[in-house]
Amino acid sequence: MSVRALVLDRDGVLNELWHEPDLGTVDSPARPDQVRLAAGAADAVRAANRAGVRVVVASNQPGVAKGKCTPQLLDAVTGALLHLLAAQGAHVDDVRYCVHHPDAVVDRLRAGCPRRKPGAGLLLDIARDLGIAPGGTWFVGDTHVDVAAGRAGGFRTAWVGRSRCDVCPTRGAEPPDLVAPDLLTATLTILEGENHDAALSRQR
């Protein structure tokens, strides 16, 4: 089946995680000035754009629920990410977040939401709204939670970052369909596979 879309986790895949040396923490960017594209991310998205493959971001973003940022800052972080991609000739077609968390300090956002990964709700919403078949869509993430969500939704899955995937068996998680060191490598491998499949189809 040809690749119809790439659905990408955000933090650790498209952009770098933010390190706070004074606090010794690593987390999602909470302000637009903290957004840094991951190496090769813009090249990956641009390659998908040129191949006619839609690109969608799907991410758990509980920062507002946890009181770490405001809705306005979350929007600003998203805007900064899209701006950095656009500056390098790359664009995403849609951005979807689950902002809920079961331990939220904001009452209205405290929920066991089915759209929160490892649930597949967010991914299935994307497939429905874009009119794409999950089997022709890849979900690219950097944690076992991403792989579990993709599997649950019937997506093919790619894990970015081999060293982190080494712990999959210890968590009882199914392995991804593809493991790559970064988003660019994963994207090119996926697109090359599509080209190979298309060539075989023409030969039949």
CB 69 within 8 A of CB 29: no
Q: 198 falls in which pLDDT band (50, 70, 90)?
A: very low
Q: DSSP for 46-112, please give it.
A: HHHHHTT-EEEEEEE-TTTTTTSS-HHHHHHHHHHHHHHHHHTT---SEEEEE--BTT-SSGGGBS-
pTM assigned to the model: 0.89
Partnered with residue 178 across adjacent β-strands are 158
3-state SS, residue 15 = strand
Q: Mean pLDDT, to the nearest integer, of 112-123?
A: 96
Supply the mean pLDDT for the chain: 89
58-111 pLDDT per residue, tens: 999 999 999 999 999 999 999 999 999 999 999 999 999 999 998 888 889 998
Residue 202 confidence (pLDDT): 35
Q: Mean pLDDT, to the nearest integer, of 109-130?
A: 95
Residue 21 confidence (pLDDT): 79
Q: Mean pLDDT, to the nearest integer, of 21-44?
A: 92
Q: Given 3.30.540.10, 3.10.105.10, 1.10.1660.10, 3.40.50.1000, which CATH number is that of 5-203?
A: 3.40.50.1000
Domain limits, the chain? 5-203
Using alpha carbons, list the distances in angstroms from residue 30 to 15, 36, 85, 156: 12, 12, 18, 30
Could you list the active site residues?
9, 11
DSSP H or E segment with residue 156: strand 156-160
CA distance 3 to 188: 12
**Higher local confidence (pLDDT), 177 or 22:** 177
Least-confidence region, from 19-23, 169-173, 194-198: 194-198
